[in-house]
Amino acid sequence: FPHAPRPPPSPHQQWKAQTSQERQHRALMDTFGLKLEELPDGARRWHGCDKDTPRCFGTVHAGTPQYLAAGRWTPPCCLRALRETARHVLAELEASGARYWLEGGSLLGAVRLGDIIPWDYDVDVGLYRDDVPKCRWLRAVLSGGRPVEDPRGFFWEKAAEGDFFRVHFSRANRLHVDLWPFYPRPGGVMTKDTWLGHRQDVEFPERFLVPLGSVEFVGVAAKAPNDPRAFLELKFGPGVVESPEYPNPEVRRLAQDLGNK
C-alpha cells in the first residue's frame, strides 16, 4: 500500500536534519583522517586545522612528525597554513628591507617544486642579524621581551630553544616559520649563535649571499642564495635536489613511501 502523504518538514526540522547530516559527514572524515575534500563541482571543503584550532600533529620527535611515522605526508590544511604564514613573513621582511634568504628544506622545496616539500612541517628563513631590528614585529619582540600578535593574527616570538625567532600561524595553531639570524665572521663565513644539530645546520661562505638571488616559493618571489644548488649540496650533500630525503632517515625513508604517493 502506498505511504500516506506526510506534511512538509518545518524549517526547524530541515535545520536539524541538515545539521545531523553535516555532523555525520565530519565524523566520517575524522575517522579516515581526511583533511581536504574536493567536490564534484571543483569546490573544496576543509576538515583540518585553521587559525582557531591546534595543528593536526603533535610534538616532532627526532625531526620526525607523527604523520611521517605513520607513512603519510603533511596534511593539506597544515601546508595551507604554512604557505600563508610564509607569504606573510616574507612580505614583512621585504617591506622592511631586511636581507633574508630561504634556508634548508624550504630552499630545497623552492628549487624542486616552487613550494613547500610535501613532508615538511615548518619553513626556514635566514637573515642578517644586523637587519633583525628593521622588521617592526621582530623589533617589538626584542624591545618588549615578550611575544607579539600582529593585526592579522600571526604570532611573533623569540624561540625558547635559542637565539632565533619563530612566527606562528596563530596563538592556537603553532605551525610556524623559523627566522635564523646569521652574521659574518672573519674570513667571510656566515655563522650564528644557535645550532640544533640538524645535518643542514652548518656555516657557509658569505659569497652565496652577495648578491642575493630569487626563487619562486609558495606563489611569491622569495630571496635565495645566488647559487641554490651549490648551497643545498654544501648543506645536505651531492644530489640532494634530485634525491631528497626525510628529515631523519634513520626513523623513516622516503623510498618507503614513494609507491603510495
* pLDDT tens for each residue of 4-23: 777 778 888 888 888 888 88
Cell numbers given for 38: 574536493
Q: Are 41 and 79 in a shared domain?
A: no
Radius of gyration of the chain (CA): 22
Query: What φ, ψ does residue 150 adopt, rounded to 5°?
Result: -85, 170
Reference 103, options 231, 1, 249, 259; nearest CA is 231
- Number of domains composing the chain: 2
Give the residue numbers spanning the domain of 227.
73-247
- Is pLDDT at 247 greater than 90 in this prediction? no
The answer to whether residue 211 is domain-embedded is: yes
Q: What is the pTM of this model?
A: 0.88
pLDDT tens for 95-116 read 999 999 999 999 999 999 999 9
pLDDT > 90? residue 2: no
Residue 212, Cβ density class (10 Å: 0-12 exposed, 13-18 middle, ≥19 buried): middle
pLDDT, tens digit, 9 for 90 and up, residues 179-221? 999 999 999 999 999 998 888 899 999 999 999 999 999 999 9
Say if 240 falls within a structural domain: yes
Identify whether residues 232 and 142 lie together within a single domain. yes
Which residue matches cell numbers 616552487?
114
141, pLDDT greater than 80? yes
- Distances from the Cα of 162 to the Cα of 68, 193, 196, 249, angstroms: 26, 8, 9, 25
